[in-house]
A and B are shown apart, each in its own frame.
Chain A
Amino acid sequence: LAKTTQPISMDSYEGQEVNITCSHNNIATNDYITWYQQFPSQGPRFIIQGYKTKVTNEVASLFIPADRKSSTLSLPRVSLSDTAVYYCLVGEGNQGGKLIFGQGTELSVKP
């Protein structure tokens, strides 16, 4: 299973765009890239998933370059409520696969 590396912490201000980059140099052909968000005293929550190029949903965008050795989660116009820990994961899928959570990136959004 590919290991991921991401910054331990990031600071931002309300209204800014936040980009969190994750490296996964040993990603395998069948692996997808997934991001989760976790608030204090809650379980992680799925944000977005992608395989290549760009994926966008109502919450975030995920940019994946052609070599797939890294990915960037983009949060547009963050608010105070986006303060959380963000995890980048690489995995093979639910059927027999498993996800390994790293330490995550603690994002702090200030007013």
Chain B
Amino acid sequence: EAGVAQSPRYKIIEKRQSVAFWCNPISGHATLYWYQQILGQGPKLLIQFQNNGVVDDSQLPKDRFSAERLKGVDSTLKIQPAKLEDSAVYLCASSLMRTDNYEQYFGPGTRLTVT
């Protein structure tokens, strides 16, 4: 079974530029998550999708971050304009829609460096 795919793996941009990350979840997984992980910290949930609807985006900085999951499969996370503090690893995860299982499958992440 293929895992969660993310691209690119690495990205370096200057502040005020824009950047987009792509995620392809495991086939059949209705729930998709985007996390931000700053060096030395645990992942922080940015947004959670159930199929193509947003379940939780309370920690998404909506003035600069946006995300979409068209057709309930692939997802894109965008930052525009980027700030220095956005330097982090952006992780995508997916899971089945179950109430008794917390197993989220994570992709390898995209390491973003903002200079």
Residues of chain A touching chain B, judged by Cβ–Cβ distance below 8 Å, are 32, 34, 41-46, 49, 87, 89, 91, 93-96, 98-104
* A to B CB contacts below 8 Å, 29 in the list: A32-B102, A34-B102, A41-B108, A42-B106, A42-B108, A43-B93, A43-B108, A43-B109, A45-B106, A46-B104, A46-B105, A49-B101, A89-B102, A93-B98, A93-B99, A93-B100, A93-B101, A94-B95, A94-B97, A94-B101, A96-B50, A96-B55, A98-B48, A98-B56, A99-B104, A101-B42, A101-B43, A103-B40, A104-B42
| Complex-state Cα separation, A49 to B105, whole angstroms | 14
Q: With a CB–CB cut-off of 8 A, which chain B residues contact A87?
A: 42
Cα-based distance from A32 to B56 in the complex (angstroms):
19
Chain B, residues 19-50, CB within 8 Å of chain A (1/0): the string is 00000000000010001000011111100101
A contacts with B: majority SS: loop
Contact between A43 and B107 (Cβ–Cβ < 8 Å)? yes
| Interface residue SS majority, chain B | loop
**B91 within 8 A of partner (CB):** yes
B85 at the interface (CB under 8 A from A): no
Q: Which of B40, B43, B44, B97 contacts A95 (CB 8 A)?
A: B97
A100, B45: Cβ atoms closer than 8 Å: yes
Contacts of A96 in B (CB 8 A): 50, 55-56
Contacts of B93 in A (CB 8 A): 43
Interface centre among A41, A49, A99, A103 (most CB of B within 10 A): A99
Question: Is the beta-carbon distance between B44 and A94 smaller than 8 angstroms?
Answer: no
Give residues of chain B (70-114) contacting chain A, Cβ–Cβ below 8 Å: 91, 93, 95-109
> What separation, in Å, do the CA atoms of A26 and B99 have in the docked complex?
20
Report how far A45 CA is from B106 CA in the complex, Å.
7
- With both beta carbons as reference points, the residue of chain A lying nearest to B56 in the complex is identified as A98
User: Using Cβ atoms and an 8 Å threshold, which residues of chain B touch A42?
Assistant: 106, 108-109
